[in-house]
Amino acid sequence: NNDKVNDQWRQLEYGMFIHWGLYSVFGGERNGIAVKKGYSEQIQMWDDIPEPEYLEAAKQFTGENFNPKKICELAKAAGMKYIVITSKHHDGFAMFDTATTDYNVVKQTAFGKDPLKLLADECRNHDLKFGVYFSLVDWHQGHEFDENNCNPIPASMEPVIVQQLEELMTNYGEIAEVWFDMSSPTREQSIKFANIVRKHQPNAAINSRIWNNVGDFRTLNDNQVPEQTLDGPWQTPASIYHETWGYRRWQERNDFSKRVRALIAGLTSVHARGGNYLLNIGPRGDGSVVEFEEEVLRAIGAWLNSHPHA
């Protein structure tokens, strides 16, 4: 029941968001030229990259420095209690092992493994809860590029989404949170997708971007700090730089203390108003965590440790 979901989910308080996919190989650049429009995780749309060219990045997606143990240790050091990773972003490239399509990380990339499985298992070793981001926009399954990412979901896409959710909800152990994103599902579709989560993962909290008031908690805008406490459970997704979630090679990273202070202000204000804070990192295509982001997270953790709350 909902009280149980909310009670359990509220304990999570503060977590790590991870945007990692083929777009991480691009790092916000195409053939060495910065793409200055849009979030870097959406570079395929913003630079109108044909799918075959986009998929070329899979060869460079080595994941050789993807280290779930280090990521979990970093989350712990930052004071976080859970991790939510992109299982599939708008590009439709599945970052998990799936029978629904060969357009997935195991089949196509140099890495050739299921990062969700590796991370989910490691989370359990570190007493961290695990969750997945799942985009309802899927350019591979046939959604047109739409800068607002609000395409409706054709009935033909439903079986794929249903099966992918079945896989995600059954192959990775306990799921604490399912973070749907974008598109414009009908009420029936929202209910259908939520029911799959609820059937297999009764304790998983679903965010409001399942749409149609079907979710368990509200997702606010990026880095949004409401003026007051809000009714019901809610979360602020936060990014270190505001302009991108996925890795951006040309991102300026020269304002360390300012960033740290802004994020601590965001985290503590959100927490004080009863919200949950989900802070993003965008690893490179080789899986390495950007050093600046790691240091930011460690500085937040150090501050939290020196200011224990009641």
The nearest distance, CB 305 to ligand JFZ, in angstroms, is: 28
Site for ligand JFZ in 274-293 (CB under 6 A): none
| CA 122 distance to own-chain centroid | 17
- Minimum CB distance to ligand JFZ, residue 249 (Å): 17
Pattern 239-258, binding to ligand JFZ, x per CB under 6 A?
------x-------------
Beta carbon of residue 216, minimum distance to ligand JFZ (angstroms, whole number): 18
Smallest distance from ligand JFZ to CB 219, Å: 8
Give the shortest CB-177-to-ligand JFZ separation in angstroms: 13
For the chain, give me the number of helices (H) and strands (E)?
Answer: 11, 10
CB atoms within 10 A of CB 86: 30
Which position among 1, 156, 213, 221 is part of the footprint of ligand JFZ (CB under 6 A)? 221
For residue 42, give the DSSP letter.
G
For the chain, helix, strand, coil in percent to 5 are 40, 15, 45
**Residue among 166, 222, 243, 295 that touches ligand JFZ (CB under 6 A):** 222
213 counts as binding ligand JFZ under rule CB under 6 A? no
Instruction: Give the whole-angstrom CA distance, residue 56 versus residue 93.
Output: 12
Site size for ligand JFZ (CB under 6 A): 10
According to CB under 6 A, which residues from 39 to 68 bind ligand JFZ? 39, 41-42
C-beta closer to ligand JFZ: residue 203 or 269:
269
C-beta of 90: minimal distance to ligand JFZ in Å?
Answer: 6
When CB distances to ligand JFZ are compared, the closest residue is 221
Q: Which of residues 91-130 bind ligand JFZ (CB under 6 A)?
A: none
In degrees and rounded to multiples of 5, residue 236 shows phi and psi of -110, 120
Please provide the DSSP assignment of 236-257 as one string.
EEE-SSSS-SS--TT-----HH
Spatial separation of the C-alpha atoms in residues 301 and 57, rounded to whole Å: 34
Binding to ligand JFZ by CB under 6 A, coded x per residue (else -) over 22-41, reads -----------------x-x
Closer CB to ligand JFZ, residue 29 or residue 222? 222
Q: Minimum distance from CB of 182 to ligand JFZ (Å)?
A: 5
Identify which of residues 233 and 304 has a Cβ nearer to ligand JFZ in the complex.
233
Q: Closer to ligand JFZ by CB, 41 or 293: give it.
A: 41
Which of 41, 76, 47 minimizes the C-alpha distance to 284? 41
Cβ pair 283, 249 in contact under 8 A: no
Chain residues 171-200 in contact with ligand JFZ, contact rule CB under 6 A: 181-182
Instruction: Identify the burial level of 133 via C-beta atoms within 10 angstroms of its C-beta, where 0-12 means exposed, 13-18 middle and 19 or more buried.
Output: buried
Q: State the DSSP string of 69-109.
A: HHHHHHHHHTT--EEEEEEE-TT--BSS--SS-S-BHHHHS
149 binds ligand JFZ (CB under 6 A): yes
CA-CA distance, 45 to 181, in Å (whole number)? 16
Residues that bind ligand JFZ (CB under 6 A): 39, 41-42, 149, 181-182, 221-222, 237, 245
